[in-house]
Structure 1
Amino acid sequence: MTVVTTGPVAGLLAALGDAVVTDSDTMIAYTRDQSMLSPSGHPIAVVRARTTDHVVRTLKTAHRYGIPVVTRGAGTGLAGGANAIDGCIVLSTEKLDRILTIDEQSRTATVEPGVINGDLAAAAAERGLWYVPDPGSRAVSTIGGNLATNAGGACCAKYGVTGDHVARIKAVLADGRIIHTGATTRKNVAGLNLTQLLVGSEGTLAVIVEATMRLRRPPARTATVVAAFAEPVRAVDAVMAIQAVADPSLVELMDRTTISAVNDMTRMGLDQTAGALLLIQCDGDAAPAEAQRSADACRAAAATELYMSTDPAEGDALMQARSVALTALERRGSTLLDDLAVPVPRLPHMLDAITRIADHHRLLIGTFGHAADGNLHPTIVFDAADPDAAERAHQAFDEMVAQCLALGGSITGEHGVGDLKRRYLEPMIGSVERSLMAEVKAAFDPTGILNPGRAI
């Protein structure tokens, strides 16, 4: 079925031709991301932009007619931030997928927003360089989407999130004007930092059409430690001890439920009796020594099993256990993935709360995440076809967020607010602060057409 092509849709078709999709069956694939709890609507058209001019023309049309625009990358988001709104235009940047330049001297890469994170990393590696940000969706998520949510990943504690690696952004405002923010220089304090306002704004301020990302030299060496513990609290004790003696690039945690799911899927032979597993990686010239100190800290925290390797290939194979955690849990039912961040010393309290909530609501919740920065991903596994189970999952989700806030945490460490967590935003940041955010939004988008009702 095709949407009636009158008014603004007819104008888009005339201006952009086959970049515009109005067939309902085709548009279905562009209506939602991976957030099960977030509603989605029906767009009047999908624009699969191939050039910056396509984006400009789309926004000028939307601005003229007052039509909402939802910008979408690969659709891997987990907070409903890219879900269609009834009557909107979905602006897809997936076909803006060129790596424009890689400058080895300045160690930067200029890319379009549809470039896949892993593809940029591979292209940089061919030049002997390293693109650091590594969200779990690295193989499928786009740079534009990573910027929109300020995506994190395993190595954030040492190297920071996506926003720490962006130098310059080219974007299109709601009325079609093009702006450039930031600079490729290492130091730049000229004016307000508009670049960092755009990063994490989830498509509510402008549409990113180009970004210059910073690259690094890859570490010369890596070393990996895997440690099993009888209880999660012992694993967190080890995390605190490690931070006092080493600077690992990542410290990943998996609980008993996640370990079991990964074992069932991969047959890796992880310790099924463990209450928690830590996967630790150190990099740089001092990697072996730092890994040894990390292993010693785990031993002192009563690790029940301990393994260390300085072989990069073996380290990657061991890290695969954490990489497939979500996929393994998805094999057990429908999943609702949360994204909570608490101060590292309060991780035991959050983990205990998750266990209590799972027991109270008779749910399976597998928890994994980035222990070095306190960012957990408790994943509710339930039967989405069972209304009672779905309701219990909703309640458990709310209670985990409430507990996170009570512990002084953040409602999202890397997935964004989107639609899913918007109701929790004001309790976390405050009403005055939220009003300021709304005023910033109005300065960029006075008519409020960019991803309305999301993120702020």
Structure 2
Amino acid sequence: MLIDDLRRDLPADRLVQDPDVIAGYLHDDAEWAPHGKPAVVVRPRTAEEVRSVVRACVRHRVPLVTRGAGTGLSGGANAVDGGVVLSTELMSAIREINPMERLAVVEPGVVNDDLRAACAEHDLWYPPDPASAPWSTIGGNVATNAGGLCCVKYGVTRDYVLGLQVVTGTGELVRLGRRTAKGVAGYDLAGLMVGSEGTLGVITEVTVKLRPLRDPEHTVAGYFSSVVDAGRAVAAVADAGLTPSALELVDRHCLAAVDRWKNMGLAVDADVVLLGRTDTPGAAGEQEAERMLDCFHRGGATWAARSTDQEEADALFAARRLAYPALERLGPVLTEDVCVPKAVVPEMLARIEATANRHDTLIANIAHAGDGNLHPLLITPPGDDAARERAQAAFHDIIADALDLGGTVTGEHGVGLLKRDGLAAELEPAVLGMHRAVKAALDPHGILNPGKVIPD
């Protein structure tokens, strides 16, 4: 039996079979994404132990779902009936920080903010910064190609992954990628793993490139009477050729929820707040901040100014990061993650408003507005099945609108379970066939996170 093999190959404390403990590993943070009940949770400490788990699953043809911190929002880490959940939480070592090569080597369970703090001790910086950075892990960030607040200027996780150690669907432990600054030997298999959501392999080590610590940022804040006006300001920033280090949109629903939860004193008299930052050093940075401020005014800001109070500016950005967990306290939250071209951000925000009205659904808005990555948050009262059905209909309409405007169904949260139909609508059949061919080649037994990402 599978359990007997796992007990034989692994230390006894790696296996979890207590139903009360297993209950904490059943699903990620995606609202209403289905999940099963696994036979066992395994918490390995080494790559060799991961390989033993995969090989046991291959022998017994048992599904294997890899899980990081469980902060995902698409159902990508949800358990499968009778399968194994492999948690990387104990694989949390930072193995190397190399200032000369500007790289770090970490295990997949390292928390994003912990890596950033360790790099800062060497005057280095790891840019990808999802809002869940205080809790999410590097392995999960790689699995979903996470982005974050800085990605408008500095890119997403894929832009920083140099190499990976991975256990394949056949139980082979392999190294992909490189440690050098350049390299084009063979196919980019490391890049293929980034964003694959555990369907092509189990990540056991990640090598990421680092940047020098950046200069202090200048913050610009603007208040707007509607999300559409804020969207116009975002388009104006892009049209002006500016590349902010962050450009975030937060509406009054999010700010109010954070304030009620954390008592941060966010006395903001606006329906929408747009937060911009530039980290360009010296006089050029000052000029960029002034130009961004002008874009806010041209977009229709009711008030806009450069922040002279760093504590106040940091509080607003902290509120942006806390928006999702704050709204969760009000009731079930179905989170969208569409991305559209920057030029059509105003139109997409207008369509989201129309969708909210059409389906009688409360939709709060946060967004990495600078790169068109919008996160409408659909909020429903607990236990209200009719509201849930309306929210799910609105969810699908938002996806359709994003595709109609030349966008994509997911910018950074991944496909998981919630966006499989959206992926089928976005990709042409021949491209879906290529996805299935890659999956079959690297996971011939179909054990790795089955039922996720690729539509049936």
Query: Relative to structure 2, which stretch is displaced further, 234-243 or 413-422?
Result: 234-243
Contact 2:170 2:442 in 1 (8 A): no
Q: Distance in 1 between matches of 2:323 and 2:25?
A: 26
User: 76-85 or 284-293, which moves further after superposition?
Assistant: 284-293
Deviates more, 1:296-305 or 1:418-427: 296-305
**Equivalent of residue 351 in structure 1, options 334, 349, 352:** 349
More displaced, 426-435 or 16-25?
Answer: 16-25
- CA distance in 2 between partners of 1:369 and 1:302 (Å): 18
Give per-residue Cα distances to partners, 1:379-399, cap 9 Å, x unaligned.
Answer: 011024121121112111111
User: What TM-score do you get using the length of structure 2 for normalisation?
Assistant: 0.95
Greater displacement, 248-257 / 189-198: 248-257
> Paired residue for 1:13?
7
1:158 aligns with 2:153: yes
User: What does the per-residue CA deviation read over 1:309-338, in whole Å, with 9 as the maximum and x for residues that have no partner?
Assistant: 366555323312312222332232221111
Q: Is the 8 A contact 2:34 2:78 kept in 1?
A: yes
CA deviation after TM superposition for structure 1 residue 20, in Å: 1.1
Instruction: Give 1:276 shift.
Output: 2.2
Matched, 1:238 2:236: no
Matches of residues 300-339 of structure 1 in structure 2 within 5 Å? 300-309=298-307, 313-339=311-337
Structure 1 unpaired stretches of 5+: 1-6
Identity of aligned residues (%): 46
Cα drift, residue 84 of structure 1: 0.5
Deviations 1:248-276 (A, max 9, x none): 1110012343344344444534433x332
1:190 is matched with: 185
From 367, 380, 385, the counterpart of 2:365: 367
- Letter in structure 1 aligned against 2:7: L
1:402-421 aligned at under 5 Å gives the runs 402-421=400-419
**Aligned position for 1:3:** none
Residues 162-173 of structure 1 aligned to structure 2 (within 5 Å):
162-173=157-168
- CA deviations on 1:122-173 (whole Å, 9 max, x unpaired) are 0001111111100010000000000000001011111100010111111011
2: CA distance between counterparts of 1:24 and 1:327?
26
2:274 to 275, 278, 281: 278
Q: Which amino acid aligns with 2:104?
A: A
- Give the residue type in structure 1 aligned to 2:245: S
Q: Which amino acid aligns with 1:438?
A: R
Q: Which amino acid aligns with 1:303?
A: A
Q: Distance in 1 between matches of 2:320 and 2:314?
A: 10
Residue range with higher mean Cα deviation, 381-390 or 211-220: 381-390
2:108 is the counterpart of 1:113: yes
Give CA deviations for 1:50-80 in whole Å, capped at 9, x if unaligned.
1111101001111111111000111111011
How big is each residue's C-alpha offset from its partner over 1:187-224, in whole Å with a ceiling of 9 and x where there is no partner?
A: 11111000110000000001000011111011123100
The aligned residue for residue 72 of structure 1 is 67
Alignment of structure 1 residues 40-51 onto 2, 5 Å:
40-51=35-46
Take 1:315 and 1:283, find their aligned partners in 2: how far apart are those partners? 14
Structure 2 contact 234–345 (Cα < 8 Å) conserved = no
Cα drift, residue 436 of structure 1: 0.4
User: Which residue of structure 1 aligns with residue 247 of structure 2?
Assistant: 251
Moved more, 310-319 or 27-36: 310-319
SS of 2:124's equivalent?
A: coil
Which one-letter code corresponds to 2:77 in the other structure? A
Task: Single out whichever of 58-67 and 17-26 deviates more from structure 2.
Answer: 17-26
How far has the Cα of 1:8 moved from its partner? Answer: 1.1
Deviation at 1:281, TM superposition (A): 0.6
Name whichever of 235-244 and 151-160 sits farther off: 235-244
Secondary structure of the structure 1 residue equivalent to 2:196 = coil
CA contact (8 A) 2:17 2:41 kept: yes
The answer as to whether partners of 2:364 and 2:377 remain within 8 angstroms in 1 is yes
Task: For residue 205 of structure 2, give the secondary structure of its aligned residue in structure 1.
Answer: strand
Distance 1:308 1:128 in 2: 27
Partner of 1:299: 297
Query: In 2, Cα distance between the equivalents of 1:47 and 1:217?
Result: 37
Amino acid at match of 1:289: Q
Q: What secondary structure does 1:61 align onto?
A: helix
CA distance in structure 2 between the partners assigned to 1:435 and 1:301 by the alignment: 43
| Length, aligned pairs only | 449
**1:87 alignment counterpart:** 82
- Find 1:211's aligned residue among 188, 200, 206: 206
- TM-score by length of structure 1 reads 0.95
Separation in structure 2 between the aligned mates of residue 269 and residue 207 of structure 1, nearest angstrom: 42
Kindly indicate whether the alpha-carbon contact (under 8 Å) linking 2:363 and 2:376 is maintained by their aligned counterparts in 1. yes
Work out the CA distance in 2 between the residues paired with 1:226 and 1:342.
23
CA contact under 8 A between 1:238 and 1:301: conserved in structure 2?
yes
Shift of 1:405: 1.4
RMSD of Structure 2 on Structure 1 (CA)? 1.5
1:394 aligns with 2:392: yes
8 A Cα contact 1:222 1:310, kept in partner: no
Residues in 2 aligned to 1:31 and 1:327: alpha-carbon distance in whole angstroms: 19
2: CA distance between counterparts of 1:231 and 1:400?
Answer: 18
The CA distance in 2 between the partners of 1:313 and 1:260, in whole Å, is: 19
Counterparts of 2:215 and 2:143 in 1: how far apart (Å)?
31
Q: Which 5+ residue runs of structure 2 have no aligned equivalent?
A: none
Range that drifts further, 285-294 or 446-455? 285-294
Q: Which range is displaced more, 339-348 or 208-217?
A: 339-348
- Give the structure 2 partner of residue 4 of structure 1: none
Cα distance in 1 for partners of 2:413, 2:444 equals 26
Whole-angstrom distance in 1 between the partners of 2:214 and 2:264? 30
Please give the alpha-carbon distance, in whole angstroms, between the structure 2 residues aligned to 1:400 and 1:418. 17
Counterpart of 1:385, as a letter, is: G
CA distance in 2, matches of 1:238, 1:313: 24
Indicate the SS of the match to 1:324. Answer: helix
